[in-house]
Amino acid sequence: MNSFMSFLFDTRGCTGLRLAVRILRSRLRLFLLLIIAVFAAALSGCREPKEEPVSVPGNNITVGYVKIGSESDWRIACNRSLDEAFSADNGYYLLVNDAQQKPEKQVKAMREFISLGVDYILLDPIMESGWDASLSEAREAGIPVIVFDREVDVKEPGAYTAWIGSDFRLEGDRACAWLSAFLEKQKYDQPLNILHLQGTIGSSAQIGRTAALMDAIDDHPDWNLIDQQPGEFTTAKGKEIMAQMLDKYGSRIQVVYCENDNMAYGAIEAIHEAGMTPGTDIKNGEILILSFDAARSAMERTLRGEIAVDTECMPLYGPRLVQMIDQLEKGETLQFRNYVPEEQFSAVDGLTSVEAAGEEYPVTLVTKELIGGREY
């Protein structure tokens, strides 16, 4: 019986079976909605009913999105991209569960989507660990799970259908390569004090970008990690930590390695409030800031010289995820790991490329025209 059910819900099977399953799930959702409506009417007493139509997904593809939250400009752009791509007009019914930066809420959301019998689950995990059980449950229920942006650390390689996201380690390598090339261009050969503002500890972005900086420091004897603190990827926490570090170290801080734009915004505010200047003239006391994401507001700060280099982390996953689900709907097999292309931006003239991980990568000069043409 179990093997039969596994065959029935195997998404690699024929399209007809998947369509039958979707119809059954749609009918079940409709039945549940009708029960809810009956109880709501019974509880309404003598109140006049509101004339609001009940939205039923029908035969649209139902997608459950396990959302991290809205903690940063990057995250807001990512969420908007999914909302736009998985619209009813495009044949989708998107259910969103906001975990508000709490890993336990994400696991609960996964199980709720499994209980509802959605057609697909999109998972952007806060933490890499803790996913073995719920992913196994989704697989047993025959629901394909596409992990995107951050990664999961699971025992079984086939625990989910596919992953698409950034090479966070490479992002960090490119940022550190830019710093090394900049210092060489400036003929700066003195010891360098670096403050490190980390993102959410245990997230893929934090793990990759932190590893890159640690290796770069090992490779540069003159680079000194003056302190390392978690800023949680938020502006408020970034500002709080930066203010504390300025009180503690003052002008000894020469470089701030911020693992996302929002922490960089907070750091910039704290630097200004301390009467200091973010910029690239570290010989004369300016504090050089490296950031990640390359959101529009950060690009404006880069153009002003407040951020020295911003390494892109692409947030527009909506269309790419739609394409992946379309492939599954056609019975095609997805490539298991998929990296998105990303750029690097700076307003510093003369640094047009950097070498990282054995390859040459371009550095795009920031202009008003470039910022005006950005999607996010």
pLDDT tens readout for residues 312-363: 999 999 999 999 999 999 999 999 999 999 999 999 999 999 999 999 999 9
Token pair recorded at residue 16: 């007809």
Q: Cα dihedral sign for 139, 141, 142, 148?
A: negative
How much is the mean pLDDT over the chain?
Answer: 88
* Helices and strands (DSSP H and E) totals, the chain: 12, 15
Mean pLDDT of 265-287: 98
Q: Is the domain 2-48+56-160 a CATH 3.40.50.2300 member?
A: yes
Mean pLDDT of 75-93: 96
Q: What is the pLDDT of residues 197-250, one digit of tens each?
A: 999 999 999 999 999 999 999 999 999 999 999 999 999 999 999 999 999 999
Q: What percent of the chain has pLDDT over 90?
A: 82
Q: What is the pLDDT of residues 95-152, one digit of tens each?
A: 999 999 999 999 999 999 999 999 999 999 999 999 999 999 999 999 999 999 999 9
Q: CA-CA distance, 260 to 143, in Å (whole number)?
A: 33
Of 291, 292, 289, 302, nearest to 371 by C-alpha is 302
CA 80 to chain centre: 12
Residue 157's pLDDT is what? Answer: 75
Token pair recorded at residue 124: 């952007």
Q: What is the pLDDT of residues 134-150, one digit of tens each?
A: 999 999 999 999 999 99
Residue 37's pLDDT is what? Answer: 38
3-class secondary structure, 50: coil
Q: CA-CA distance, 82 to 66, in Å (whole number)?
A: 11
Residue 10's pLDDT is what? Answer: 36
Would you kindly state where each structural domain of the chain is located, as residue ranges?
2-48+56-160, 168-315+342-372
3-class secondary structure, 72: coil
Record: fold of 168-315+342-372: Rossmann fold (3.40.50)
3-class secondary structure, 232: coil
Q: What is the pLDDT of residues 5-64, one digit of tens each?
A: 333 333 333 334 444 445 445 444 544 444 433 333 333 333 333 333 334 456 899 999
Do the domains 168-315+342-372 and 2-48+56-160 match in fold? yes
CA 169 to chain centre: 14
**Pseudo-torsion of CA 82, 83, 87, 91, nearest 10°?**
30
- Residue carrying the six token digits 């998107």: 94
Q: What is the pLDDT of residues 160-181, one digit of tens each?
A: 999 999 999 999 999 999 999 9
pLDDT band for position 375 (cuts 50, 70, 90):
confident
DSSP secondary structure code for residue 158 in this structure:
G
Contact 213, 172 (CB under 8 A): yes
Give kind and range of the element (H or E) at residue 97: strand 92-98
Burial of 4 per CB tally in 10 Å (0-12, 13-18, 19+):
exposed
Q: At what angle do helices 235-249 and 261-273 cross, to 10 degrees?
A: 40
Of 333, 326, 361, 346, nearest to 119 by C-alpha is 326
Contact 324, 334 (CB under 8 A): yes
